[in-house]
Structure 1
């Protein structure tokens, strides 16, 4: 009986992952030197990030310090995009992406622990772009990963808008 229950639970879990929906598509914001955007926060110890440990989508270490890591839809904020949050002065560089960011204008800010992540929560902030990342380099990283739906969404947007 226990084995049957565990098998059923595993089947339900796997089927729910297979049917996981992408976030609703948002019309891209117009790139500008200063923008007001929605931000969220994440940390490497969240359950959906544990398999990557403290690594970003580029395969390097997530950063917290003078320049902090951030995740975004790379068709809107290409990898390497560096920005400053006006209210806090913190500087972030986009070096990661995530399922819930594909097709959205949200930027997810890396925090070193769960407490910092929860304290940030969800905020609309004004950012100043220091340097835009390279959309072609982002595309080169994303294209081989197209088997994932969120990556396919970003690749298609890059192809439609830039290539």
Structure 2
């Protein structure tokens, strides 16, 4: 099994790119690919971050990764904001020992990011919290960085597919 950690700012397009990668590229080949959205593994309300909810997220992700390895999944695409390299290390630590990992950050200039972020009516307004997540995600080191400005989801997913060896 191999991990592909797909990060970027909130609203940059991680979910759309991962969905397109799975439905258009992975479905066209023979490589068994699974997509895991870390946010979905600890989505709860009312929202809080404490040792119990972070423990929940870690346990959920560790279980999903172990089960994927046991099922013969060849590539697990993990989406999360990844606003620091420490989060890459956290996910690596939850995967089976020795799992090779590729990190990819989706990037966007601030005007394009703001436009995408605010286009979703369910998102809160851009504030200091989200500006911090944006800045952190933009600066996070990665093996590969994909610029999303002026590109549609299909083009970004095709570039990601080429990076991870899936059919174009």
TM normalised by structure 1 equals 0.28
Q: Which has the larger radius of gyration?
A: 1
User: More helix by proportion, 1 or 2?
Assistant: 2
Structure with bigger RCO (C-alpha 8 Å, 6+ apart): 2
User: More strand by proportion, 1 or 2?
Assistant: 1
TM normalised by structure 2 equals 0.27
